[in-house]
Every structure is written in C-alpha cells, then in structure tokens.
Amino acid sequence: MVAIAPTVKVKRRRAKADDGVLTVGRSRAGTIAANTAGVVFAVLMLFPVYWVLNTAFKPADEVLALEPSFFPQHPTLDNFVSAFKAPLFLKDMLNGVIVTLLAVAGALVVGFLAALAIARFSFYGRKAIILVVLVVQLVPFLSLLIPLFLMLQSAELTNSLIGVSITYLVLILPYTVWTLRGFISGIPRELDEAALIDGCTRAQVFWRIILPLTGPGLVATSVYGFIQAWNEFIIINTLNSPDKQNLMAWLLQNQTTRGTAWGPLMAGAIITSIPVVIFFLIIQRNIATGLTAGAVKG
Amino acid sequence: MKRKIAVAAALAATLLGVAACGSNDDDAPTTSASGKVDGAGKTLKVWLMVDAQTAWKGVVDDASKRFTEATGAQVNVEYQQWANHLTKLDATLAGSDVPDVVELGNTEFPKYVFSGAFSAINPGDYENSSSWLQGLKGACDFEGKTYCVPYYAGARVLIYRTDLFKSAGIAAAPKTYDEFLTDAEKLQAASKDPKFGAVYMPGQYWYAAMSWVKSTGGEIATQDGDKWTGQLSQPKSIEGLQRWVDMVKKYSKADPTKNENDQANTFAQGTAAMFYGNAWEQGSAEETKKDPNDPNSVLVPTKVKGKLAAAPMPEIPSFLGGSNLGVTEKSQNKELAAQWVKAFTDSTSMAGLVKANALPNATALLDKAAADNPAIAPAALAAKNSWFPPNAEKWADVEKGAVLQTMLTDVLTGKKSVADGAKWADDQINSTLNES
Amino acid sequence: MSVVETPTTRPAAKPPAAHVRPPKKSRNRTPWLLALPALLLIAGLLGYPLIRMVVLSFQNMRLRELLSGRTPPWVGFDQYSKVLSDGVFWAVVGRTVAFTVASVLISVLVGLGIALLMRRVSRGVRLFMVVAMMFVWALPQLVAAQIFRWMTDSDFGVVNYLIDKIPGVDYANHSWFVNPWQGWSVITTLVVWAGIPFLAITLNAGLTQVPKELLEAATVDGASPWQALRNITLPILKPLIMIVTTLSVIWNFGLFTQAWVLRDGHPEPSFQTLATYSYTQAFGQSRYSLGSAIAVITVLLMLGVMVFYIRQMFRIGEVE
C-alpha cells in the first residue's frame, strides 16, 4: 500500500536517456548477444500482457479450449460488450472515478500545503513532521484495516463513497507530501527572494512562482495518486457492498457460482487498466520535461 | 508532551465509550408475518444471492409484485456474489442502514443467528412450514426459537454422458455403488485420451467427499452438551473418506486444488464421463451463456449438448445445500420484511423455483416437484436421502477456514495419509467449533 | 585503480540552489498551520486506527460484539499468547520471511542485470525493453494476478499447454498449487515479473550517473568489465540499491493480493502470508482481535526494516 516510487526515482528521470553509455571496448558480437538478450527479455515480459489481449478477443468457446490458440480464430468484441453490460460494471466504474478524484484532489490540496511548510520553512518540529510522513508511508495499510473498518462503521461511513474517499486520501497523502516537497525545494529560493524584493507579498510569491513552477510536479503527483487510488480494492471490497465499489473490486468478484467467465474478466481487466496505462505514460513525459521547465511566466 | 497525553486520553475515552451503548436484546419480540401491514411509502431492502438473478428473477419479481399489492411498500432487491458476501454482510450489519431481508447459505446461518443478527419469526405464519426441509430449518433454530425461513434447496446427483456410456457398453445409470465403479472402469478403459478421466471430481469438493463419508455411516462432528467433537478420524468416517479418495485417485483427472465452481464448464470440454453436481449443472454443462454477464443471454451449445443425463448417485446420501431467508434484527421494517419473505416462500413462488430447477423448501412439495419437472426428479429423490453439516454456531468458520478442502487436497496429493488428514481436520474442527 | 576513490555519495541529481541560504529557524506559526490539515488527517486515519488496533488486540471482539456494538471483553495478553504459541502462526512468519528474502534477492539481481543490459544494447532494443517494462509496470496488481491465475489454470492455462509441448513432459492438467514449492514459485515469478520494471528502470537511471570517463579510463587501464562493475559502478550505485532493496522488502513482506488472487480468495495454510493470515482471521473468521494482534506483530517485525529505510533516506540526503 506504500506509494510505488520513491522520490529518488522521480528526480533521476531527468537524466537524458543516452548519456553515460560506454562505447570503448565493445565487441560487435557482444552487442548482438546483448540485443538478443534484451529482445528475449522484453518478449517474455510482454507475454502475459499479450495473453490477456488474446483471451479478451476470443469468443467464449475459444477461451475455454483445451488447446489454446495463440491468436483469436474468430476475433470478437463480445467480451467487452459483456463486461460493459455486466451488472454494476458502469456503476462501479463511476464510483471508482468519484472516489479517486475526491481522494486525489483532497490529497493534493492538503499535501501541497504541508509540502510547502516542509520545503520552504525552517521551524521547530520540521524534522518530526518529515519523520511522520516517512513512517506512515511504510505502515502496512492493510494491517489498519480492522480498526479502520470499526472506526468508519461507528461514524456510519462504511458502505459509502465518502468513507472510502477519505481513506484513500490518507493513503496517498504521505506520498503526495513527500513528492511535492521534492518539487518545491527544487525551485531556487532566489526566485522567491527576488520576487519579495520586487514587492511581491508572500501570497503573491506562492501564486506567481511556486504554484506555476510546481505544475508538472502536481500533475505527476496527482497521476501517481490516481493510480494508487484506482488500483486499490482490498479496502473498498471490505468496507462497501458491490454497488458502492470500484472496478478493481468488481474484477475480483466477477465470478458467478457457475465458474469464472474468463473472457469478460480479461476484457474487464483491459478496460480497467487503460486509464492507468495512459496516466502512467503521462507522468513519464511530465517528469522528463523537468522541474524548472516553463520557467517563470506568472 | 502534556498535550500529547491529553489527546491520548481523549482518544482512549472515545475508544472505550463508543462501544458501551449497545443494548442486550436477547428477549427481543418475535416478528409476526400475519395480519395486515401498511407499508405505503416504504421501501424494503432485500439481499438475495446471485442465483436468484440468473435463474429465477421472474419469481422474485412476481413475489415482490404481490407483496407491493398487498402492503403498498416497494421492494429493492440487491443481488450478492457468493465470493465475499459474508464480509460485506458483516460490514453492513454492523452499521445502521441494514438490509431488511438477507439470504444466506444454510450452513452460514447459525453463526449469525447466534450473534443476534436476525429476528425471531413465527413459523406458523409461513406456508408449508410443518414440512420444511430439516437440512435448511436446522440452521434457523436457536434456543427454542426460529430465526429464518427455508428458501430453496439443491441436492447433488450423478450427471453422465449417455453417448460414452453406450459406446462403453453400459445400458443404464448405475444402481449400486459397485456398479458405479465398474462403469467407471469400463469408461476409463474405453478411452485412449491421457487427459480423460471417467469421473470429474475436483479435489476440494468437500460436499462430495463428505457425502461419501456419510455413505459409510461416518460423521463430520457430533455434539455432546456444549462440546463438539470432530468425528472424521472415527473408523466409519475414515472408511468413507478412503472410499472417496480411492475413487478419485483412480478415475479423476481433475485438479486436486480446485473446488467444484468450474466443474460444469470443465466437464463440457468432454474429457470426463461423469460428474457429481447440482441438478441445474447439467444444463450449464450442455449450454453456456454467450454472454455470461447477461441473465437473458443466448445459449450456445457445448460439445456435450444432448449427451447428458442425470440420476441419483447410488448409495451416496446427498448433501443438501440451500439457502434461508432472515429478517434482520436491526431492520426498521421487520413486519413488512416478514410479509415479503412469506410471499417469496409461498407455494406459488415455490412452483416458480421448481420450474427453474431448484428444489422447494418443504418435503411436502418434493414429490409434486419431481412430477412437474423431470429435470429435477433425480435431485428431488436425492433430497429425501440427504444430510447437512453440523448445526454448530461456528461451522461457518470451519468452512471459511477451508479446513476440509485443505485436508482433501493433502490426502489426494499424498502429503498426508487419510488417517493423518482426518486427524488433522478433527483437531481443527474441535478447536474452531469449541472456541469460546 | 585510484579512480575507485571518487564515488559520488549522492546519486540524486539535486537542485543545488535549494541549499544556498538555509533560513533561520522561526517560531512562525505559518508552517504549522500549513501542515495542520495533513497532520490531522494522518492522526485521524492512521494514528488513531493504529492505537485502536493495539487496544483491540487486548480485547476479544467477535461477530456478536461487532453487530451489537457492545464493548468486547478485555482479555489482556490472551490474543498474543494464543498467536505466539501457535505453530501455524510461526509457519506463516517463516514462510513470509523466506518468500521476502527470496523474492527480493531475485528481483534486485535480475533488475540490476536488466539495468546493466540496457546500457549495453542498441538504442532501438533499449526502447523496446523500456516500453515492455512500462506496460508491465502500469498493470494494476490485481489484473496482473488475475492474468497469472488464468495462465496457470490447470485445465485451460497456457503455461501447462506450452510445457506439455516439450517432448516427454506430461503437464496436461498439471496443478501448480498442489506442491507449495511450485505454487510459491508461481507467486514469486509474478512478484518478480511485476517488480522488475521499477527496479530495472530506477537502477538504469542510477547507472547514467556513473561517470562515463571513469569507466572508459578503467577499461583503458586494462580493468575487466567485472572489475569495473565491482569497483566503480556498484559503489556508486550502492545507496540507490539499498533504497530499492529496502522498499522491495517492505512491499513483498506485505504480500497479499498475489497470494489471495492466485488461490482464489481462500489461500490454503501453505499459501498464507502474514497479511492474508491476519485478514482471514479477522474478516473470514470474525476474530477481529486475533487479527489485530497478528497485525501488531507484523508491524513490530517490520519496524527494523523501516528504521533502516528512514536512516538511509536521511543518509543519502533525501531529507535535508
């Protein structure tokens, strides 16, 4: 349940893809061997992904064939249609969107303020706050499920989207604070000071310098939060009934008493993954753009 | 630091305080379903399992319609999945916005009845209550009161391939267990396919294994006063377990770590000649829904379409599975809820269930059901010779803990001997059922 | 080999300007006000449940108490003595630890190998590798687990089908979860497969920080690639490797989803981890207090690793 990437990685992405590649003392045969190994590795990595796609486009009788075919013989969209028509699929999709957006928006606002405090102020207790943020990121959230469940239940917040949204907010908050802190302290303090000398107020510094410059950081952080919240299913599956769950929980339970419907399940898995994959690609680009890109425009 | 302590104290106070306001409701009144209730403007929340949605949604709608006409209240039915419905039920029942009527599997009921989740009902208010199937009703009884209403049952039968029987020279379904074994032997010999198994019997199919245990006079657990004792390691139980294990090892190619959920689909691939399933599973094996998520989907014939028949499993008493309906203790509309249950379990509704290949909730209706619907005749027969798991408060925990499933896999894969496996399961059952 | 002496201790490309003039510590209330909402939320939804978890582990809460809202009876250390004297629990602990060690070791080694390989291949191949890894990385954990469940299905799984194709091998209807070693190798494969992208891409990024000149000079001086790796690359990469290893330990120790999904929501005793064990005890068997006690013990077991991680974060200057 801990955020997947530490800041180390986010920052490191700035390095250009190609620098530092050693060219001295390399044999052609070595390169060919390395390339072959690289391609084999990539193909192996992709095999499961290919297999979902393959399954999802097969008609039901081909899915459950004792001799699986490596390409759908009669490609069909039935499984996707079936997933969309499935009870609660659309409802759970909407729930997922609502819960995720609420959590991300909340975490962003609250987290940004806290990050600002840590990154731009020096005060007694600062280290303690940092420590808290780091520690709570590591507490296995699952172990808190029992008391969380009891707590939300006595607040009448189980089986509600609000309860889950708040939980997710807190789930992604430490990561958000931590990452935004990195982005904010990446903005040269001279910019603040110059602006202050130019007669800006503290608030103006915030609105005109810090906020615009952390733009890419906010995007990257919120997308990461989005992925975390979107992918979560254990909490929502335990707290809420099926009509108040998200697509992940739907996927977990899309099996009837009459066995697993693998075709629609795999189609559902693809639909569920698409937003995540897209957002994932977005952060890659945004982080690559760098922290100070866009400079001061406000 | 002082502030910290103050906060901690406040928290502790809340922790202790929150929990202290429940009331002891052991003497809660019985909910009546007789008489007229005005439910105008009210909406009843009903939780049924997904089977009702896939197989007999019409019956639900009809009962709700009659109920609405009689009381003026609306009904909102939510269909639950078996996979995780208990966790969800716990979460919901702990709150205050609870469903008024809840369906649970018969083996799941005692735990909730004991924990005070359901309101006592008056059996006399319901049709056919004098002959309710004991396997279902047993789960509703607690300290002299009845806390739920039997809903439907399913009994397991032998489903077999008529074409393979014919080509192996077998004229009819086996009448004795020995005949069943000889037939299996013939069927196995008739096939050259290494994937072929005469019987499809997944290893964690504990309803089946326990039926074999019962067939030799064995027991799962017995009660003496307040104490439950696992009986699987008793000689008679071991004999039955051994009988099942021998048969499975010899004739089944099924995965010893799977349960029976997928068995109809797998059987439809044609790599087995017989399986032990609910009556309706014959239909699922012969035809699959083109769109499994759509209750009204077009049906697509499988490889075994038109080649299946069902018969009672000879000499093996069937496990009587099924569901009951309860009115929740926290419901704001108990009387209305009871009225709905009454409508949904009356003879009209039961006739609808029979049409959908489920067994009715009372023995008085079984013969009529067998006559009305030949497809469930073998199951109706099997239901007369049926058993059900120990009616212990914590039996659901044994099921949830996958005790029997684990034991069966261990025994089938040779990790434990039958005797060791049974001993282990007994220990688990003892400690679970007697836990304070 | 004097080059070895110059590793940069700080792998992160750090914006230098941030440190120019550390302002004086102020008694200003603004930073606390800014941090307050976050701290309140963390206290309310992480701190309070943590306390409540500990309290719960000294009580005996079952379904009856949950439904009625009555105070569960206090039982002192009963839950702990029950857990700690239970052989099953220790088997679960041992299994979780063994899995963590094995899976982290494999993941990090393979990840490092792939990262190094990425430095050696042509640009097109590297791109292909990155794209492949991105897809795997982006897949939700649950989806990945479902895919593996489907691929290793004993009747319809493609893995059995492919292995069965090897002459002389009979893997038709082979069940991967009969033998715990095989079952765990499926789970480990899944975890490693899903973990490689993060490790390989992060470590590869770290490798770009190794000065090219240093490696070239070493090669010219006659150092073998192995020597260059051991004496130049690894020392520079070490802080980063420490961090990713620690994170992997924390994640893999909490393994839940993969075991849960591959065992279809009811893991057999030999597939229980601390996380699934606590969950099934609490939510499956309604032993909320016992589950809490297990969770408390889990957190305590993790404490050492967490402290190590935080110290690392401070040491490499992530926390300034």
- In order of A220, A223, A227, A236, C136, the CA distances from A277 in angstroms are 14, 11, 9, 22, 9
Neighbours of C313 (CB within 10 A): 22
Q: Which of B241-245, B362-366, C154-158, C222-226 has the lowest mean pLDDT?
A: C222-226
Terminal alpha carbon distance of chain A: 37
* C61, pLDDT greater than 70: yes
pLDDT, mean over chain C: 85
Mean predicted confidence (pLDDT) in C98-127? 94
CB pairs under 8 A between A and B: 103
* B330, pLDDT greater than 70: yes
A 69-108 near C (Cβ less than 8 A):
none
pLDDT in tens, C13-41: 444 444 444 555 666 788 888 899 999 99
- Where is pLDDT greater, at B57 or B10? B57
- In order of B206, B240, B336, B407, C152, the CA distances from B425 in angstroms are 12, 15, 43, 6, 28
- In order of C7, C232, C313, C318, the CA distances from C237 in angstroms are 9, 9, 15, 15
pTM: 0.83
Which token pair is C206? 């770290």
Mean predicted confidence (pLDDT) in C163-181? 86
Chain centroid, CA B28 distance in Å:
28
Instruction: Residue A151: list chain C partners with CB under 8 A.
Output: 48-49, 52
Q: For residues B32 and B346, what is the distance between their CA atoms, to the nearest angstrom?
A: 16
Could you tell me if A140 and C302 are in contact, meaning their C-beta atoms sit under 8 angstroms apart? yes
Query: What 8-state DSSP symbol labels residue B131?
Result: G
* C4, pLDDT greater than 70: no
Chain C residue with CA closest to A46: the answer is C132
Nearest Cβ partner for A158 among B95, B271, B289: B95
pLDDT in tens, B70-93: 999 999 998 887 767 887 888 788
pLDDT in tens, A114-130: 998 988 888 888 888 88
What is the bridge-based pairing of β-strands B318-327 and B386-387? parallel
Nearest Cβ partner for A261 among B79, B80, B293: B293
Band of residue C319 on the pLDDT scale cut at 50, 70, 90: low
* A5, pLDDT greater than 80: no
Q: Which residues contact A288 (CB under 8 A, 6 or more apart)?
A: A13, A14
Band of residue A255 on the pLDDT scale cut at 50, 70, 90: low
* B25, pLDDT greater than 50: no
3-state secondary structure of B55: helix
In chain A, how long is the greatest CA-to-CA distance? 76
What is the ipTM score, two decimals? 0.83
Query: What 8-state DSSP symbol labels residue C44?
Result: I
In which element (H, E) is residue B310 found? Answer: strand B308-311
Contact check, Cβ <8 Å, B401/C268: no
Mean predicted confidence (pLDDT) in A211-235? 85
Could you tell me if B102 and B78 are in contact, meaning their C-beta atoms sit under 8 angstroms apart? no
Neighbours of C233 (CB within 10 A): 22
Chain C interface residues (partner B, CB cutoff 8 A): 48, 51-52, 55, 62-72, 154-155, 170, 172-173, 175, 177-179, 264-266, 268-269, 280, 283-286
- In order of B353, B374, C205, C213, the CA distances from A18 in angstroms are 69, 74, 10, 14
What is the bridge-based pairing of β-strands B74-80 and B43-49? parallel
Terminal alpha carbon distance of chain B: 41
Q: For residues A101 and A277, what is the distance between their CA atoms, to the nearest angstrom?
A: 17
pLDDT in tens, B168-179: 999 999 999 999
Q: Report which of B147, B83, B271 is spatially closest to residue A256, judged by C-alpha positions.
A: B83
- Where is pLDDT greater, at A5 or B312? B312
Could you tell me if C104 and C252 are in contact, meaning their C-beta atoms sit under 8 angstroms apart? yes
Q: For residues C267 and B393, what is the distance between their CA atoms, to the nearest angstrom?
A: 23
- In order of A143, A168, B183, C17, the CA distances from A235 in angstroms are 11, 9, 50, 42
Q: How far is C161 from chain B (nearest CA, A)?
A: 12
Of all residues in chain B, the percent with pLDDT exceeding 90 is 50
Secondary structure, 3-state, chain A: CCCCCCHHHHHHCCCCCCCCCCCCCCCHHHHHHHHHHHHHHHHHHHHHHHHHHHHHCCCHHHHCCCCCCCCCCCCCCHHHHHHHHCCCHHHHHHHHHHHHHHHHHHHHHHHHHHHHHHHHCCECCHHHHHHHHHHHHHCCHHHHHHHHHHHHHHCCCCCCHHHHHHHHHHHHHHHHHHHHHHHHHCCCHHHHHHHHHCCCCHHHHHHHHHHHHCHHHHHHHHHHHHHHHHHCCHHHHHHCCHHHCCHHHHHHHCEECCEECHHHHHHHHHHHHHHHHHHHHHHHHHHHHCCCCCCCCC
Residue B76's DSSP bridge partners are B45
Looking at residue B407, what is its pLDDT? 95
Looking at residue B21, what is its pLDDT? 37
Contact check, Cβ <8 Å, A121/C30: yes
Band of residue C135 on the pLDDT scale cut at 50, 70, 90: confident
Q: For residues B271 and B249, what is the distance between their CA atoms, to the nearest angstrom?
A: 16
Token look-up 């706050």 returns A129
Terminal alpha carbon distance of chain C: 33
3-state secondary structure of B152: strand
Token look-up 């952080």 returns A221
pLDDT in tens, B109-154: 988 998 899 999 999 999 999 999 888 888 898 888 999 999 999 8
* A153, pLDDT greater than 90: no
In the chain, the amino acid numbered C154 is S
Could you tell me if B98 and B331 are in contact, meaning their C-beta atoms sit under 8 angstroms apart? yes
pLDDT, mean over chain B: 86
* B431, pLDDT greater than 80: yes
Nearest Cβ partner for C175 among B84, B111, B255: B255
Band of residue B12 on the pLDDT scale cut at 50, 70, 90: very low
Mean predicted confidence (pLDDT) in B178-182? 95
Chain centroid, CA B208 distance in Å:
13
Q: For residues B68 and B73, what is the distance between their CA atoms, to the nearest angstrom?
A: 5
* B419, pLDDT greater than 90: yes
Per-range mean pLDDT, top range of A206-210, B31-35, B324-328: B324-328
Could you tell me if A266 and A55 are in contact, meaning their C-beta atoms sit under 8 angstroms apart? yes
pLDDT in tens, C245-294: 988 998 899 999 999 999 888 888 899 999 999 998 988 888 899 999 99
Contact check, Cβ <8 Å, B112/C62: no
Which token pair is A56? 């999802």
Instruction: Tell me the DSSP string of B198-253.
Output: EEE--TT-HHHHHHHHHHTT--SEEEETTEEEE-TTSHHHHHHHHHHHHHHHHHB-
Looking at residue A30, what is its pLDDT? 85
| Interface chains of chain B (3 or more CB pairs under 8 Å) | A, C
Which token pair is C88? 């099953």
Residue B103's DSSP bridge partners are B325
Q: For residues C221 and C202, what is the distance between their CA atoms, to the nearest angstrom?
A: 29
Band of residue A285 on the pLDDT scale cut at 50, 70, 90: low
Looking at residue C93, what is its pLDDT? 95
Of all residues in chain B, the percent with pLDDT exceeding 70 is 92
Looking at residue A17, what is its pLDDT? 43
Could you tell me if A152 and A163 are in contact, meaning their C-beta atoms sit under 8 angstroms apart? yes
Mean predicted confidence (pLDDT) in A253-276? 78
Neighbours of C21 (CB within 10 A): 10
